Amino acid sequence: MTLSVVYVAQTGHVVGARGVTGEDAVTDLASLIGTELTLRKSLETGDLAAVSLRPGQLAAGSVDDEPRVFAGPLTFGADVEGGVLKPALLELSPWHDGLALKETTFEVSVPVAVGPATPVVVLLAGDAGTTLLTGEIPAQGKTVAFQVDLKKDDVHAVLVLVAGQTGRFEALKVS
């Protein structure tokens, strides 16, 4: 089977995969996602929230077969070196705590200090669509904070991508 993956260019997180038997892998981004890639999340209210990734945020390529990517794409990352996608996907480090969504800040903390500065991409679903937040955890640090303007007790779908860490797509309540 050939495997096509769509990944976030800045962090390497796989956000989609397509496996085909008997054909070459599709690596043209527009052919794989069209005009955008939308991820959906059920909220406690029963509503469905969505975040959208645009082609400028994404890349696509062909990698070695990895069947587990279909069950949990955000647990895998594309390994790109010198602009070239390596054939094997990386299994990312899991983490479960460290997200604090408040009225004026969204704080992302990883369990272990990073080595070099580490890119972070956050997509926050709201009434006006998807808000993109980008930043980095500084070298030898564990935390990055983003300025937001939210209403207390609202619930938002949030996609959090920290390079090297499993991606998280969660419904969070503003505290």
- For residue 79, the enclosing domain spans 2-91
**Last residue of some domain: 56, 91, 126?**
91
Mean pLDDT (10-residue bins), the chain, 175 residues: 92 94 86 92 80 94 94 96 94 96 98 96 90 97 97 94 96 94
Closest CA to 121 of 8, 22, 20: 8
Residue whose tokens read 């390529």: 61
pLDDT for residue 27? 87
Pair 163, 106 in one domain: yes
pLDDT for residue 16? 95
First CA to last CA distance, the chain: 46
Measured between alpha carbons, how far is 60 from 65 in angstroms, rounded to an integer? 15
Pair 81, 109 in one domain: no
Pair 85, 119 in one domain: no
Pair 117, 73 in one domain: no
pLDDT for residue 142? 97
pLDDT for residue 158? 96
What CATH code is carried by the domain that includes residue 165?
2.60.40
pLDDT for residue 127? 80
Q: Reduced to 3 states, what is the DSSP secondary structure of residue 164?
A: coil
Pair 28, 73 in one domain: yes
Pair 17, 84 in one domain: yes
Domain count, the chain: 2
* Contact of 174 with 52, CB cutoff 8 Å: no
Distances (CA, A) of 108 to 21, 41, 50, 125: 40, 19, 20, 16
pLDDT for residue 4? 95
**Last residue of some domain: 64, 91, 118?**
91
Closest CA to 166 of 67, 96, 104: 96
Pair 121, 77 in one domain: no
